[in-house]
Amino acid sequence: MLPNDSEKEPVKNNTEAKLKIYVETFDTRLENGQTQHCIIIGHKIFAIPQNVRDGSLSFLTSLASPLTQIIYLGEYYKDENERKDKRTDFFELLNNKQAFIDYQNYVFPDLKNFSKKIGHNLRWENLSLDQKKPWKNFNDDKQAKKKYYNFLFRQLLAKNTETMPPLITNNQIWKEYCKKYESQNSTPPQWFVDSFLKIIF
């Protein structure tokens, strides 16, 4: 059951839960040197408490019920330079190359080799001249290129119902990932409880 007051455990195991929402936490360093707390649900990253205040997480409140449960999967990590994270490490450990490649290309697009097939049917030769023009203007701005790549990928998702995010196309291995880290019963950081759980639920 979701916590409704401070006396209840914020994260508990409940095998009878009909809807489980899997959440991980991680911190990132901002340009000003300050630490930004974040949570990740599926593929989506939310800044805490900013995305609580702006309503980006209000969809969770609408899902609240006695049979809904927040499951904490521990601390997430990633290495942009190596194009790897906690999930690719898990997929690699299981020797599931397809899940590894799919997720790596989704989260860490290979910007240097955009002419190759990247992930789910997003190919340079299939882009229109209008789509290629902004990319060429970014030059060596990796951040701008990544944002534009993600924009193109969202366009592809909207046009092609067969193109799905890798945690959906590799649903079984994602379930194994959740099962492993749920069983570890990790304790979430205090900010997760105070700035996320107590406010949302």
Sign of the Cα torsion 100, 123, 76, 78 reads positive
pLDDT at position 35:
95
Going by the DSSP 8-state scheme, the letter that residue 194 receives in this structure is I
Per-residue CA distances from 110 to 116, 123, 164, 171 (Å): 9, 12, 18, 23
Looking at residue 3, its pLDDT comes to 39
Cβ partners under 8 Å of residue 10, min gap 6: 3, 70, 188, 192, 193, 197, 198
Two tokens at 69? Answer: 């449960």
One-letter amino acid at 153 equals F
3-state secondary structure of 23: strand
Would you state the pLDDT for residue 41? 94
Enter the pTM of the model: 0.70
The conformation of residue 126, written as its DSSP 8-state character, comes to G
Answer whether 3's CB lies under 8 Å from 201's CB.
yes
- Model pLDDT, residue 116: 46
- Spans of the chain, pLDDT less than 70: 1-17, 110-126, 154-164
Q: What is the pLDDT of residues 18-75, one digit of tens each?
A: 789 999 999 999 888 999 999 999 888 999 999 999 999 999 988 888 888 999 999 9
The pLDDT score that the predictor gives to residue 128 is 77
